[in-house]
Amino acid sequence: MQDFDYDLFVIGGGSGGVRAARMAAQRGVRVALAESGALGGTCVNVGCIPKKLYSYAAHFAEGFEQAAGFGWNVGEATLDWARLKTNRATEITRLNGIYNNLLVNAGVTLLHGWATLVDPHTVAVDGKTFNAKHILVVTGGKPLVPDVPGREHVITSDDIFDLHPFPKRLVVVGGGYIASEFASIFNGLGAKVTQLYRGEQVLRGFDDDVRSFVANEMQKAGVDLRVNADVKGVAKLPVGLEVTLTDGTTLMADAVLYATGRGPKVSNIGLEAAGVALSKDAAIMVNEDYQTSVPSIYALGDVTDRVQLTPVALGEAMVLVDHLFGDGKRKMGYDFIPTAVFTHPSIGTVGYTEAEARKHFGQVTVFRTDFKPLKHTLSGSNERTLMKLLVDTATDRVVGLHMVGPEAGEIVQGFAVAMKAGATKAVFDSTIGIHPTAAEEFVTMRTPVSA
């Protein structure tokens, strides 16, 4: 019987990798984790956390303006971009340290270096080799930039947090959640933002009412959102970057952010040498137990390109550890996964879109309302909130819940629990609302708009 250096070797120190390594080590198995960059992966370093911090920062400008309606006299406010960047970096460094301590205190051997697969049981880290009974690949994803002329002049979401100087004119290319979030954020921070999307409407894959509603709200807030618009090329001029569109029009910008998708980070990690099969989109192919084509090698999270969300990677990691070192009873459910988009206003959603629900269930009863929140009766803002429920008519089960408005993610998280448990519209109707809140609308909608 072969004697391995480790029971589990984890390649990648993002959310999924750290969770798997720590949970496995706490079960008493020998675990090593290799990471060449900062611990925490995309989410901690250039994703969810800094993005949410910048979203908070962007909301202060409108908060200062709206304070007057509530009796406050606020003087001129200016953004210290350098201070924001410094404070964000300090917080991220703190989180990196927490991740390090979690691993070390759990007994994980932490290796700082680039790891590559040598064979089904061997990993090389900067010239040193280690063997393991099981290997987990959790290298995450990376931004993708199409081969557009002048692509060397554009930036991705990995670069946006430390731009110098602050871009007074920002062009955002893309219509997904990352593009829409940064368009909202930098608009709130004071940049003149133009968002370009080649499709009919932003946020493909979300409910159509949500898509059109949030697009309209973003435009009201000042984002120059242009759909059916694509980039022909980017040129660097003495006065900035010239963006030429396919219709011949041009835009001038201080920075051009491409947020046109992300792909699995699979280059130069030895997958081919180990015999790991990839999909046509270069994602690692896995079975229901996250096992690759090589029985001893596993993968989860963004590198498998299933659901690109940090909490999903965390859940998958827990399932895998239980499968390898526990009783194997823990399962991962991919239905009713709640998510939020930190546009201004934000989006919270769980379950099916209306189009998906009608395709899956047949007859669907739709409840929808939009309104001016109580806060804005005095704030002077014309921002509105949208709420929508989708009910499977045959069973009365609520199968879709969508919101556009302040703190949508915070509100939807609680409803996601109810929906995961199979709550019906009758249960919603019998629940007492908290007054006055926006959230109570979800339990007071009585009249369907369509069926």
The model's pLDDT over 292-326, given as tens digits with 9 standing for 90+, comes to 999 999 999 999 989 999 999 999 999 999 999 99
Closest among 189, 188, 147, 191 to 171, alpha carbons compared: 191
Q: Which pTM does this prediction carry?
A: 0.96
CA 184 to chain CA centroid, Å, is 15
Superfamily of domain 151-260: FAD/NAD(P)-binding domain (3.50.50.60)
Specify the pLDDT at position 305.
85
Residues in the chain: 451
Per-residue CA distances from 345 to 39, 179, 215, 221, 408 (Å): 31, 14, 10, 9, 8
In this prediction, residues 270-278 reach a mean pLDDT of 96
CA–CA dist 142, 431 (Å, integer):
43
Tokens for 76?
Answer: 């001129």
CA–CA dist 195, 112 (Å, integer):
39
Q: What is the mean pLDDT of the chain?
A: 97
Residue 1, pLDDT above cutoff 60: no
Banded pLDDT at 152 (limits 50, 70, 90): very high
Nearest-10 crossing angle of helices 177-189, 48-66? 40
Specify the pLDDT at position 177.
97
Question: Which phi and psi angles does 50 have, rounded to 5°?
Answer: -65, -35
pLDDT in tens, 239-258: 999 999 999 999 999 999 99
In this prediction, residues 275-295 reach a mean pLDDT of 97
**Are the folds of 6-142+263-325 and 339-443 the same?**
no
Instruction: Using the structure block, give the residue that is written with the tokens 């932003």.
Output: 202
CA–CA dist 129, 5 (Å, integer):
10
Give percent of the chain with pLDDT exceeding 70. Answer: 100
Question: Which phi and psi angles does 33 have, rounded to 5°?
Answer: -135, 130
161: left (phi over 0), alpha (psi -120 to 50) or beta: alpha
Spatial contact of 101 and 89, defined as CB atoms under 8 Å apart:
no
Spatial contact of 318 and 338, defined as CB atoms under 8 Å apart:
no
Tokens for 183?
Answer: 């368009």
CA–CA dist 309, 166 (Å, integer):
29
Specify the pLDDT at position 163.
97
Q: Which residue of the set 59, 323, 376, 435 is catalytic?
A: 435
16's enclosing H/E stretch is: helix 15-26
Per-residue CA distances from 243 to 47, 156, 173 (Å): 26, 16, 10
Question: Which phi and psi angles does 99 have, rounded to 5°?
Answer: -60, -40
Per-residue CA distances from 142 to 260, 284, 410 (Å): 11, 14, 27
Spatial contact of 149 and 232, defined as CB atoms under 8 Å apart:
yes
Cα angle at 79 between 78 and 80, to 5 degrees?
A: 120
435 counts as catalytic: yes
- Cα dihedral 295→296→297→300 (10° resolution): 80
Going by the DSSP 8-state scheme, the letter that residue 67 receives in this structure is: G
Specify the pLDDT at position 451.
76
Domain ranges of the chain: 6-142+263-325, 151-260, 339-443
CA–CA dist 24, 451 (Å, integer):
49
> According to the CATH classification, is domain 6-142+263-325 in 3.50.50.60?
yes
Cα angle at 85 between 217 and 92, to 5 degrees?
A: 100
Give the amino acid at 321: V
Specify the pLDDT at position 223.
98
H helices present in 246-309, as ranges: 271-274
Beta strands in 322-384 (DSSP E): 339-341, 347-351, 364-371
Task: Specify the CATH class of 339-443 in words.
Answer: alpha beta
pLDDT in tens, 161-198: 999 999 999 999 999 999 999 999 999 999 999 999 99
Spatial contact of 118 and 34, defined as CB atoms under 8 Å apart:
no
Spatial contact of 266 and 139, defined as CB atoms under 8 Å apart:
yes
Going by the DSSP 8-state scheme, the letter that residue 283 receives in this structure is: P
Instruction: Using the structure block, give the residue that is written with the tokens 């390898």.
Output: 324
pLDDT in tens, 344-393: 999 999 999 999 999 999 999 999 999 999 999 999 999 999 999 999 99
Spatial contact of 11 and 139, defined as CB atoms under 8 Å apart:
yes
